[in-house]
Amino acid sequence: MTITTTMTTTMTTSVTPTMTTSMTLFHIRYRDTQGTLMRLLNAVSRRAIQMPYLETSPESGLQRLTLSLDVTPKQTGQLMREWSATIDVVEVLASAANAEQVEQPKPPQEVWAVASHAAAIAMGQA
Amino acid sequence: MPRGAELVLRCLRQEGVDLVFGYPGGAIMPLYDALEGSGIRHVLSRHEQGAVFAAEGYARVSGKVGVAFATSGPGATNLVTGIADAKMDGVPLVCITGQVRSTLIGTDAFQETDVFGVTLALTKWSRLVTKLEDIPAVIAEGFYWARSGRPGPVVIDIPVDLMKAAASGLAPAIFLAPQKPQQQKPHASQDWTQRVVALLQSAQKPVALVGAGVKLAHASDKVRALLDDLKIPSFATVHGLGAIDPAAPHYLGMVGMHGTRAANLALHETDLLLVLGARLDDRVTGEPSTFAPYARIVHFEIDPSQLDRVRPCEVPVVGNLAETIPALHLAMASAPRPDWSEWLATAAHEDRGAEQPTGLTAPATQFLDDLFAMLPPDSIVVTDVGQHQMWAAQRFRGSNPRGFLTSGGLGAMGFGLPAAIGAQLAAPGSTVLCVSGDGGIQMNIQELATIHRAGAPIKILIVDNQYLGMVRQWQGLFYERNYAETDLSDNPDFVGIAKAYGIDGRTLGLDCMNPENTEATAQTLREFVRSPKAELLVFHCPREANVWPMVPAGAALNQMMLRDKEPEALEV
Ligand SMILES: Cc1ncc(C[n+]2csc(CCOP(=O)(O)OP(=O)(O)O)c2C)c(N)n1
């Protein structure tokens, strides 16, 4: 028995383009309910992204998670959207991290005012 | 003295639950002990995976939350595939699992698994209950999240000692969701309607891609009204089937890997893509980098995490489609619009139309056409996963928005038969047809016992090609016909198995499609469809029939393989 196939056009095998990564600081404010922190971290680990720095601390009745990750813009968008959709997450922000911030990770306060484009999209405002 | 278990059941009743699917065991015994007189009917599956798929089938048809019970350890881990399936397809599901005694948690006690941990990545929300008095609030919140926004699966793990404890003075609770920014109705802004109207006004080749979100939002009527008015080409994902009337002149059929040529070409050529409640799975987009290369994208979606997965959209419209679609329709009503009739005529032209299947494929699809033509209009087709699933999706012509159920996102074999049970119990008056493969039916064949006991008159079709056909197709096309471990030519006697479970069955050989047998076959199909009881029908389809058209993984949507070459050379 023979089955051969025809195609309307020639197939090309595409290779995923490598995108450049950059160190990015993420700040997430969430209600500290069962499993919420694990869900946030799982969004990172399921993409096999290293977590060189993370810190979580209480902040005005909520919990705040700060992560510094070496990510592509696409990963940034994916993470922001996944975190924003996580129940009990109140706010997600991102900012480019400079070397100093990575070593000295307490972000300057003004970072909180800088909602990224991705966050705006995630909230349907872009 | 009411116990925790009774409290759990009262909370479920308060959420409107009157039917659950499950399987008992040590850690959930108090719940089973309390079932009688609770007002909740329990359907015993014969495997926890059967229970969770049945709960999903029930939810997909009824629009209500499906509920599954399982015991700790192996009972709970057997739920995992169904939970993953509900996550992928946005199905409202609550799984209640029994857990070992509170004092034993964390000790690797007998039948202890960290169900909360195991399911964390698959659930929308979950809780391990630690205090008796938390039960009402946890159940109320769990149901809220299961059904809100993009629906999804919830796991509530309850230690057995809490279910046994005296629970006097405790009553069901109501959950009030905290507000968060994206829940504050972004669609309320008029800004996006103006932007979408402007994009439509400048578009030469707009199209609409309809997904499951339209059905989940109960927005089929509103989407139909919009598209009937705009008269732009439309097509559906496998989960969107039934949301648009297949007879609508603008409807081009299913899109994606096994979609119609017309739909895939229109999606490739469009300059404005309205995505209506679809996730843009890679089975729909083809190779993401070549997806809709000329299009701007307007994405109507309730869940912001589904946006921009393939590439950024120009206008995200986050909100309930039942509200956003009428808002767009209203805005378009008074807006001048280009004449898209020529574009529609091109997109729907017969030279792009579905080629009639030829060669080995023809009998398989013709058989489904003949069978589907006999189904009453409100019928529900439930499929398993494989070639038969795609043939069924291609040939489905129903216009019941909840009339086509399939495991689309996860693609979980074993879904069909148990999901059909849930579907039938959700719609007792409807004809439910389960279309399965000879491989997939064997993944949950034990659920024939559930069907028999429940008296569910499900019509079960096995499209028997004695292969794991879809895998065999890929082996044929991309692995030089190395049919490794896909041969099922030693299949059991399915009719004999069904009979052993108390279900009648019969077999139709391939010769049933010969012209001289047309009337006899039609008679058999009629009897099958009209039978008041569960029935099995095994159809021997050509062993090496393939699903066409096909967009190979990694190709663009306009790079379709249309058929086997030289059909006349093929053997049956
Ligand atoms: C649980 C599970 N295991 C494996 C697969 C991979 N798979 C997809 S289709 C398929 C073959 C299905 O065979 P059958 O049920 O006979 O249906 P057919 O394709 O022949 O119509 C397999 C093995 C899957 N989708 N789900």
Per-residue pLDDT tens over the stretch B128-175: 999 999 999 999 999 999 999 999 999 999 999 999 999 999 999 999
Helix axes A36-45, A73-84, angle to 10 degrees: 160
Rounded CA separation B184/A92 (Å): 16
State the closest ligand 1 atom to the C-alpha of B488, by its place in the atom list counted from 1.
16
- For A56, counting Cβ atoms within 10 Å of its Cβ (0-12 exposed, 13-18 middle, 19+ buried), the class is middle
Closest CA to B352 of B292, B266, B231: B266
- Going by DSSP bridges, is the β-strand pair B380-383/A62-71 parallel, antiparallel, or unpaired? unpaired
| Average of per-residue pLDDT across A114-125 | 35
Hey, are the CB atoms on B564 and A81 less than 8 Å from each other? Answer: no
Q: What pLDDT, on the 0 to 100 scale, is given for residue B562?
A: 83
Q: Which sequence spans correspond to the domains of chain B? A: 4-164, 192-353, 363-540
Hey, are the CB atoms on A78 and B558 less than 8 Å from each other? Answer: no
CB count within 10 Å of CB B284 equals: 29
State yes or no: pLDDT of A84 exceeds 50. Answer: yes
Closest residue, chain A, to B149 (C-alpha): A85
Ligand 1 pocket: which of B88, B443, B470, B544 to mutate (most atoms within 8 A of CB): B470
Residue A7, beta-bridge partner list? B561
Beta strands across the sheet bearing B404-405 = B404-405, B380-383, B432-437, B459-464, B535-540, B504-508
Whose structure tokens read 């609508």? Answer: B248
Ligand 1 atom 20 nearest Cα: B469
Whose structure tokens read 């707009």? Answer: B206
Segments in chain B below pLDDT 70? 179-190, 354-355, 565-572
B536: closest CA of chain A, how far (Å): 31
Contact present, B325 and B226 (Cβ < 8 Å): yes
Hey, are the CB atoms on B121 and A46 less than 8 Å from each other? Answer: yes
Hey, are the CB atoms on B186 and A4 less than 8 Å from each other? Answer: no
DSSP string, B457-485: --EEEEEE-SB-HHHHHHHHHHSTT--TT
What top-level class would CATH report for the domain B4-164? alpha beta
A1 lies in some domain:
no
Q: Which of residues 59-118 of A touch B (CB under 8 A)?
A: 77-78, 81-82, 84-85, 87, 89-91
CA dihedral for B143, B149, B153, B158, sign (positive or negative): negative
Rounded CA separation B321/B209 (Å): 13
pLDDT in tens, B86-105: 999 999 999 999 999 999 99
Rounded CA separation B349/B243 (Å): 22
Rounded CA separation A43/A83 (Å): 7
Which stretches within B129-216 are classed as H helix? 135-147, 160-164, 191-202, 212-216
The residue segments making up the domain with residue A87 are 22-104
Q: What pLDDT, on the 0 to 100 scale, is given for residue A104?
A: 44
B-chain residues near A29 (CB < 8 A): none
State the closest ligand 1 atom to the C-alpha of B436, by its place in the atom list counted from 1.
15
A2: closest CA of chain B, how far (Å): 7
DSSP state of A66: E
Rounded CA separation B115/B239 (Å): 29
Do B192-353 and B363-540 have matching folds? Answer: yes
Q: Which of residues 36-55 of A touch B (CB under 8 A)?
A: 38-39, 42, 46
Closest CA to B28 of B161, B121, B152, B148: B161
CB count within 10 Å of CB B486 equals: 18
CB contacts < 8 A, A to B, total 110
Q: What pLDDT, on the 0 to 100 scale, is given for residue B452?
A: 98
Structural domains in chain A (count):
1
What residue ranges line ligand 1, CB within 6 angstroms?
Answer: B 384-388, 411-414, 437-440, 463, 465, 467-471
Ligand 1 atom 8 nearest Cα: B386
- CA B308 from centre of chain: 22
A112 lies in some domain:
no
Q: How far is CA A115 from CA A79, A112, B152, B287, B304, in A?
A: 14, 7, 28, 31, 16
Hey, are the CB atoms on A87 and B307 less than 8 Å from each other? Answer: no
B414: closest CA of chain A, how far (Å): 26
A78 lies in some domain:
yes
Rounded CA separation B555/B553 (Å): 6
What does pTM read for this prediction?
Answer: 0.91
Distance in Å, CA B386 to ligand 1 centroid: 5
Distance in Å, CA A116 to ligand 1 centroid: 43
Closest CA to B517 of B491, B548, B540, B533: B540
- B108 three-class SS: coil
Rounded CA separation B23/B50 (Å): 9
ipTM: 0.89
Hey, are the CB atoms on B305 and A4 less than 8 Å from each other? Answer: no
Q: What pLDDT, on the 0 to 100 scale, is given for residue B560?
A: 87
DSSP state of B391: H
Contact present, B222 and B96 (Cβ < 8 Å): no
Superfamily grouping for domain B363-540: Thiamin diphosphate (ThDP)-binding fold, Pyr/PP domains (3.40.50.970)
Q: What pLDDT, on the 0 to 100 scale, is given for residue A109?
A: 33
Q: How far is CA B88 from CA A23, B91, B237, B461, in A?
A: 31, 8, 14, 26
Residue B297, beta-bridge partner list? B273
A16 lies in some domain:
no
Residue A69, beta-bridge partner list? A24
Hey, are the CB atoms on B126 and A35 less than 8 Å from each other? Answer: yes
Q: How far is CA B528 from CA B384, B520, B531, in A?
A: 19, 12, 5
- Going by DSSP bridges, is the β-strand pair B234-236/B206-210 parallel, antiparallel, or unpaired? parallel
Hey, are the CB atoms on B318 and A35 less than 8 Å from each other? Answer: no
- B184 three-class SS: coil
A83 lies in some domain:
yes
Residue B3, beta-bridge partner list? B166
State yes or no: pLDDT of A13 exceeds 70. Answer: no
Closest residue, chain B, to A41 (C-alpha): B121
Q: What is the CATH number of the domain that holds A78?
A: 3.30.70.260
A-chain residues near B187 (CB < 8 A): 124
Q: Is A18 on the interface with B (CB under 8 A)?
A: no
- Going by DSSP bridges, is the β-strand pair A5-7/A62-71 parallel, antiparallel, or unpaired? unpaired
Instruction: Tell me the two tokens of residue B127.
Output: 């809780």
Whose structure tokens read 């509920």? Answer: B67
End-to-end CA, chain A? 56
Instruction: Please check whether the domain covering B192-353 is classified as CATH 3.40.50.1220.
Output: yes
Hey, are the CB atoms on B554 and A9 less than 8 Å from each other? Answer: no
Q: Cis ω on the peptide bond leading into residue B178 (within 30° of 0)?
A: no
Closest CA to A96 of A19, A27, A18: A27
- B522 three-class SS: helix
Residue B181 has its nearest CB partner, among A1, A7, A123, at: A123
